[in-house]
Amino acid sequence: MSIVVCAEQRDGSLRKITFEALSEGKRLAEASGETLKALLIGSGIAGLADELKKYGVDEVAVVDNEALAAYAADSYAAVLGAYIAQENPALVLFGHSAVGKELAPRTAAKVDCGLVSDCIAISFADGDYLFSHPVYAGKAIGKYKVAGPVRMATLRPNVFAVAESEGAGAVVDFAPEITASKVTITGAEMASGDRPELTEADIICSGGRGLGGPEGFALIEGLADALGAAVGSSRAAVDAGWREHAAQVGQTGKVVSPNLYVASGISGAIQHLAGMGSSKYIVGINKDGEANIFNVADYGVEGDLNKVIPALIEKLKELQ
């Protein structure tokens, strides 16, 4: 049997989460003795198969069809359903990305299997997989088993390490019957600028009410540029209209786990921590020595952000 990774591409480039899922898939395949396969869906994307081979896949199944040029949950789930019916894998992995969050459950309903969403760890022991999924916004971690034969999981981005490895690397075509989507995409708008996407970023600089106004975000953007970071926000700053909701980190915003999270003028409310508590390193910049952010920060800078951030930007520039 096999472990299948549903590869995610957008406009002809593979998403980082796909490499993370393949690397984790490989590790699990070695533990369980399964083969690792990837399913690549799209139009004119056959060339991407080579890139997938770097992560130890034994086989890449390519579904290349014009009707699948744009991602849609219903038509993609139909393809996955057909592939799973043919392949009967033990485990199917998706990224917990905007696409995976929608496609995985839709596919799970199609093939009637159990799915654990937003996993931060998967292990294989005693002949079964154990999935760890943070619940209550990370306030607890649930460990789950899934009744087979097919199991599914979506993986939280930025948590699983990427590692290249060897695999048989065969590429096969898969050509199921395509069902037309009931949905038409009429437009798309990508956030401008070349800052990384919040959930994929290695470094995130966030600002809160302590910035004092929308102009305060200029400081955060300056720092983000110096670090090659994405920009996030607390809810207070979003509610005040200083930043769009897409930038909100926390329980009712994005859940992120970068290597470095710099929180400036953010008090560290429990709902904010729910979104960034799993960051590897946290820096808190706050003028209030009692601010809760200092209870979780690896490095706590007690001071006025209007002085600290410009000095920090200067220092980082010196290094470059």
Partner 1 sequence: MKIVACIKQTFDTEAKIVIGGDGQISDEGVNLIVNPYDEFAVEEAIRTKEKDGGEVVVVTVGGDKAQEALRYCLAMGADRAVLINDPALVGADSGAVSVALAKLLSEKEAGFDIIFAGKEAVDYGAAQVPSRLAEKLDLAQANVVTAFELSDGKATATREIDGGSETLELALPALISAQKGLNEVRYPSLPGIMKAKRKPLEVLALADLGLSADDVASKIELVSAELPPARKAGQRLTGEVDEVVAKLVQLLQEEAKVI
Ligand X SMILES: Cc1cc2nc3c(=O)[nH]c(=O)nc-3n(C[C@H](O)[C@H](O)[C@H](O)COP(=O)(O)OP(=O)(O)OC[C@H]3O[C@@H](n4cnc5c(N)ncnc54)[C@H](O)[C@@H]3O)c2cc1C
Q: Which does 186 bind (CB under 5 to 8 A by kind): partner 1, ligand X, none?
A: partner 1
Q: How far is the CB of 236 from ligand X (least distance, A)?
A: 3
Q: How far is the CB of 189 from partner 1 (least distance, A)?
A: 5
Q: How far is the CB of 102 from ligand X (least distance, A)?
A: 21
Q: How far is the CB of 58 from partner 1 (least distance, A)?
A: 27
Strands 151-155 and 59-64: unpaired
Judge whether 268 and 291 are in contact, CB under 8 Å: yes
Q: Which does 215 bind (CB under 5 to 8 A by kind): partner 1, ligand X, none?
A: none
Query: Phi first, then psi: what are they for 8, rounded to 5°?
Result: -115, 125
- ∠77-79-83 over CA atoms, to 5°? 115
Burial class (CB in 10 A: 0-12, 13-18, 19+), 313: middle
Q: How far apart, in whole angstroms, are the C-alpha atoms of residue 257 and residue 263?
A: 13
- ∠187-190-195 over CA atoms, to 5°? 175
The window from 32-40, 61-69, 96-104, 169-177 that contacts partner 1 (CB under 8 A) reads: 96-104
Q: What x/- string results for residues 168 through 197 when contact with partner 1 is judged by CB under 8 A?
A: -------------xxxxxxxxxxx-----x
The residue from 56, 138, 210, 300 that contacts ligand X (CB under 6 A) is: 210
Query: Three-class SS of residue 194?
Result: coil
Q: What x/- string results for residues 264 through 293 when contact with partner 1 is judged by CB under 8 A?
A: ------xx-----xx-xxxx----------
Q: Which does 265 bind (CB under 5 to 8 A by kind): ligand X, partner 1, none?
A: ligand X
How many residues interact with ligand X (rule CB under 6 A)?
Answer: 28
The residue from 51, 88, 162, 202 that contacts partner 1 (CB under 8 A) is: 202
Residue 254 is given by DSSP the state: B
Q: How far is the CB of 201 from partner 1 (least distance, A)?
A: 11
Q: How far apart, in whole angstroms, are the C-alpha atoms of residue 154 and residue 108?
A: 11
Radius of gyration for the alpha carbons in the chain, expressed in angstroms and rounded: 21
Q: Which does 306 bind (CB under 5 to 8 A by kind): ligand X, partner 1, none?
A: ligand X
Q: How far apart, in whole angstroms, are the C-alpha atoms of residue 199 and residue 217?
A: 19
Please, which of residues 64-83 interact with partner 1 by CB under 8 A? 73-74, 77
Q: How far is the CB of 257 from partner 1 (least distance, A)?
A: 12
Q: What x/- string results for residues 217 through 256 when contact with ligand X is judged by CB under 6 A?
A: -----------------xxxx----------xxxxxx---
H-helix or E-strand containing 77?
Answer: helix 73-87
Q: How far apart, in whole angstroms, are the C-alpha atoms of residue 86 and residue 59?
A: 14
Judge whether 271 and 251 are in contact, CB under 8 Å: yes
Checking phi first, is residue 255 left (phi over 0); if not, alpha (psi -120 to 50) or beta? Answer: beta
Question: Does the protein bind partner 1 through residue 221 (CB under 8 A)?
Answer: no
- ∠125-130-135 over CA atoms, to 5°? 155
CB-nearer residue toward partner 1: 139 or 172: 139
Q: Which does 110 bind (CB under 5 to 8 A by kind): partner 1, ligand X, none?
A: partner 1
Q: How far is the CB of 257 from ligand X (least distance, A)?
A: 15
Query: Phi first, then psi: what are they for 142, rounded to 5°?
Result: -95, 140
Please, which of residues 22-61 interact with partner 1 by CB under 8 A? none
List interacting residues with ligand X (CB under 6 A).
208-210, 234-237, 248-253, 265-267, 269, 271-272, 275, 285-288, 291, 304-306
